Chain A
């Protein structure tokens, strides 16, 4: 029997880590992840979680500790955000390359520079090729549920790939919501005890893990990781369906909302999909047929599921919380465009919500209005951007120098 609890996104992530009974925790505090590190350290100290908390000196060391611990055959946990994830970058690839199925909540925050404490998706988008599965959460219930399911997905022998559970900084991490939390016994039954499916550092059965590997083996090992990602799609569908049977909440790789007869949709990630759903309801009350496509799994990117949800929709607004500098479009837009390349659709790219700038009802309405107008654009539309005052580079003559 599940019980209701009032938790913010960070506390929901901690609740899931606790219920997964990890044995080693290592984290370095960073806004807005800090309360995860604090709470984990507290429950390790008071015995609520029977695990050792390692108070490291950096995120790089946090991830290294967790990899080291999990390589001995136990479940281990960390969490981070923003530049903390960027600092981990090198070792994120070690975790995925060594097939260490770590589950890590990432509290999305902008990357420096400019320095910002607030939410966007630059941090996790910068890691989209790091060999980690990425799932984005809409609300606090979603954070808890996704974390629990992530253990099953990551640790599946046919996947063996670490998972980032992405939750929007402050919008989810610090927002208290009433969520359903199952009993420990139900979670035990759902996740099971950790059984390492790959090499472990065992003095009674010595192996060398991750020594220098030549070009003869590297391609095949990378291919194995690609197979892991390919397998992750059916594995996720299986876990989603078991989760729904067990706990009654429906999950999907790509969620369509008001999409059936829609003239236009907004495709987006994370907490803004909640706002988009609300606005699409409001607009439908006025007879404007719009919907939302929430992308849950960004890695692996579920192309097939997306095509099914798109159906006959012809106007697609891709709203990304990252700038995708130098690209033809933002990371999400590139995926959507590639998935629908054979269809003659208007797929327009919008950038909003950088560094915590609010994506409110008006923002969403303006995207719907623009996409319904049907005008294409050869570059992303920067919503609410004061282009005139964006500091366009002044032409300087040689005489201006001093």
Chain B
């Protein structure tokens, strides 16, 4: 048995299995704090599944179902329908999946869920690779990042989850970050009050996989925002808004140099990536005006 020194607050227990400095843990604590106990969560295999419990010891104080890797959105759809059939329209049905379970193997069922307009809050905590199995590349792994299956650095860009969600005309989607918890909490307050498919994409550092010190994950998250590598924005009923606009963007090398996964990036690659990041940031500012 664990010797508990202090009782945890909220809906996530003490003594969880997440690594030190894990973004996913801080994020779920805040999400559940905002959503409250009238929430049921579907969690696919991955870091969050191991985190939520093992055998008789579980870490969440809300109902949870550990699904399969590719069908969280479908399980959530069924749970929502089952609740509705019993007159329960109030419980928030939440999915808490990683980038692999969302953008790779889970994209089909997520697409179905969004297209049908299911009343489900879908969260992707994005640590930019398959971290639970030991740092294999995903479609969310960034350009030039090292992983065990992209040993020379990934040669293509990261898949854009929120553009996919917007293409499905969801009522609400947003990006959040471990580096800005007030913004995250505000967005979950909003998402909770909206009906229909909501997709929230959360930047979630993995110290082990990214090659950073556990104490640095918040700092790295903030630098991602400062450099435009991660843009905090939301899309609400057809209107896009960039929530955080740095006065001027820091050069991306500041962000890349904090992490071992980018250490093989050449000056030319850095320059190319800088142009892409700047162009993307400017595109977002333009889209805000549409």
Contact = CB atoms under 8 A, between A and B. Distances in A.
Interface stretch (B72-80, B196-204, B258-266): B72-80
A23 B82 contact: yes
A214 B77 CA distance: 29
Given A24-B81, A74-B82, A211-B49, A61 B58 contact: no
Contact of B40 (A23, A74, A201): A201
B86 interface: yes
B54 A214 contact: yes
Contacts of A94: 67-68
Interface in A343-401: none
Contact of B70 (A60, A70, A203, A214): A60
B83 interface: yes
B91 interface: yes
A214 B57 CA distance: 11
B85 A91 contact: no
Given A24-B82, A72-B86, A54 B77 contact: yes
Contacts of B116: 54-55
Given A64-B67, A91-B68, A211-B54, A71 B79 contact: yes
Nearest to B38: A203
Nearest to B116: A55
A71 to B, nearest CB: 6
Given A24-B85, A52-B85, A61 B79 contact: no
Interface string A104-129: 00000000000000000000000000
B39 A203 contact: yes
Nearest to A70: B82
B74 A61 contact: yes
B63 A207 contact: yes
Contacts of B73: 61
Interface string A195-232: 00000011101111111111011000000000000000
Nearest to A26: B78
Contact of B52 (A72, A205, A211): A211
A157 interface: no
Contacts of B80: 68
B61 interface: yes
Contacts of A274: none
A60 B109 contact: yes
B62 interface: yes
Interface in B41-95: 42, 49-50, 52-56, 58, 60-68, 70-71, 73-86, 91
B108 interface: yes
Contact of A56 (B39, B62, B74): B74
A19 interface: no
A20 interface: no
B37 interface: yes
A16 interface: no
A69 B42 CA distance: 12
Given A69-B79, A211-B66, A52 B84 contact: yes
A208 B60 contact: yes
A62 B66 CA distance: 17
A208 B86 contact: no
A212 B75 contact: no
Nearest to B70: A60
B109 A58 contact: yes
A57 B108 contact: yes
Given A210-B65, A211-B49, A61 B37 contact: no
A54 B85 CA distance: 12
A73 interface: yes
A205 to B, nearest CB: 8
A212 B54 contact: yes
A24 B74 CA distance: 13
B274 interface: no
Q: Which among B58, B81, B86 has the highest number of chain A CB atoms within 10 Å?
A: B81
Given A57-B112, A91-B71, A94-B68, A201 B79 contact: yes
A72 B79 contact: yes
Contacts of A26: 77-78, 81
A94 B65 CA distance: 11
A52 B82 CA distance: 9
Contacts of B56: 217
B136 interface: no
Contact of A68 (B70, B82, B111): B82
A210 B49 CA distance: 10
Contacts of A216: 55
B62 A203 contact: yes
Nearest to B75: A68
Contacts of A66: 78
A206 B63 contact: yes
A91 B65 CA distance: 13
A208 B82 CA distance: 17
A85 B194 CA distance: 36
Interface of A: 23-24, 26, 51-52, 54-58, 60-62, 64-74, 76, 90-91, 94, 201-203, 205-214, 216-217
- Across the A-B interface, the 5 shortest Cβ-Cβ residue pairs: A68-B78, A72-B82, A57-B112, A65-B78, A64-B74
13 contacts: A24-B81, A57-B115, A61-B71, A61-B109, A61-B112, A64-B67, A71-B82, A72-B85, A73-B82, A90-B68, A91-B71, A201-B82, A208-B64
